[in-house]
Structure 1
Amino acid sequence: MTYETSLATVVAGCPLSSCLYNASGPLCTTAAELDAVGSSEAGAILSKSATLEKRQGNPSPRYFETTWGSINSMGLPNEGYRYYLDYAKRAATFNKPYFISVSGLGFEDNVAIIRALSGQEHVSAIELNLSCPNVPGKPQTGYDFEQSRVLLEMIFEHVTTPLGVKLPPYFDLPHFEMMAAVLRDFPIAFVTCINSIGNGLVIDTDQESVVIKPKSGFGGIGGDFIKPTALANVRKFYTLLDKDVAIIGCGGIKSGMDVFEHILCGASAVQVGTQLMREGVGCFARIAAELREIMGGKGYRDIDSFKGKLKTLE
């Protein structure tokens, strides 16, 4: 027997008609790209990670696809935060939440951007990127727990709009506990797990060369390869943080089954990155249809019916 299924969810107090939306990075830099997300079956619109001023990013080639995913070293190319703030009014015409990703190049930049965005009409929430691995000379804040705390203390002096954080992947169990201890001290609305796995290397054996130019070929790994790590991060932060903190799964999502696994681990919503680059915004409708079929076959009417209910072996 099949059932009527709903993919609706709530993130940062905002109702989403679908639990799928875009990751910050692929195809969300320009108004035209954001319009395409808005016109699709994505449940929300998320901007490119914004810096204080417009950036060209790293030199090309800076993105390369493999059979198992992708490697990139984009270097935060974006139009600057004012562009994405100006777009908010236009985003409202799509009748879905509009989130702005922020990735300032220093603490003061992050504070300035978030202060400017906070309380602005049509900005539903802010995603603070603590995890960009592809800006030369800039370490990932999310791996420095004390500095993460300092930054959040600075930001929460000014923010009134719901704010979440995008985290790098963690691998050691104590590191999950250490970051969770930081996050529990702030009114975090959501946590996005994970950004790409930093500083991988892909080789073109025919050319005996790396495949991207920046950083001598080192770049962030995304796609199928990172799904087990993403699932582990979703699961750990779901169990470590209060249940009113939404977990957003990101990593290796290209099918309805991938979404099902993320939600089973505790995700309230998922972001699509590499597959969006491959397929375009049509991926949201296809993946949603696959997820509905899986849920219907299992008798689940909504995502809360199975969210976080991953079983362990006795």
Structure 2
Amino acid sequence: MLNEKPQVVCLMGPTAAGKTNLAIEMAEKHGYEIVSVDSALIYRGMDIGTAKPDLEMQKRAPHRLIDIKEPTEVYSAADFVSDAKNEIEAILKRGNKPLLVGGTMMYFNALIKGLAKMPQANPEVRKDIEKEAAEFGWSHLHQELERLDPESAKRIHPNDPQRLQRAIEVCRLSGRSMTDLWAEQQQSAGDYQFASIAVMPEERSVLHDRIQQRFDIMMEQGFLAEVEALYARGDLNVDMPSVRCVGYRQIWAYLAGECDLDEAIYRGVVATRQLAKRQVTWLRSWENLQVFDTFDKDLLSKALKSL
């Protein structure tokens, strides 16, 4: 019996892998509509450092779920799932095909596999965790997570305080690990048939070079001025998810006098490469994923044939 559920295509890949170009080709020539799956593209006024599709690109292929929040606002995986489902339904009603594109693997995971029943954030517990981090360092808390939730500790880098804090908070509030709670989650893929494809260069060194080149181009395009404008607002700080975005956090440190500009740029490139490594790690464990080389001359046709 044929699967009668509507197909939703998920186009994944590490940062700077070439997802946007492939997505626009699919949208222009084959009836797809793009929904962004990116935790940084949601913010208004954060364009250059997020490699947000420019106006010309968006004229060719509009992107949903970008520029939907101010940098002061918080946006959760649950918010994304709700918004993405609304966009998917609207696209299907127009008779077109949904194409979800991005590198925020947590969002893809939440949409496809469902959201676990996690305890809500607790300001007091978070304050205690931040106090411990200031006194003993985040690596100390990562060691605690290794004891409480070894699987999450493998996925979460010691230098990723936002996710590390949340994993420990969940353990302390629920008395259970985030891994156990995810295992009990309800499946939410019932309404759709998800097809997952990914694009990336075959050689990691090539991806590293592309990241360096893209960061250099962003600086030429005015990334420093973009972060200066955010810094000057006065209502943002380094603890906010928007400012913690890769690249922004490092340039913010320069503006705060913590390092010189060359060092900030170097740190930004290193942090972006670390992000790409984490994304690739996610993708390697992704079920039923078709992976294509960024530089394949027949990339578009091969990607389409796989769906």
TM-score above 0.5, yes or no: no
Q: TM-score, normalised by structure 1?
A: 0.31
Q: Which of structures 1 and 2 has the bigger CA Rg?
A: 2
Bigger relative contact order, structure 1 or 2 (CA pairs below 8 A, ≥6 apart): 2
The structure that is helix-richer by fraction is 2
Q: TM-score, normalised by structure 2?
A: 0.32
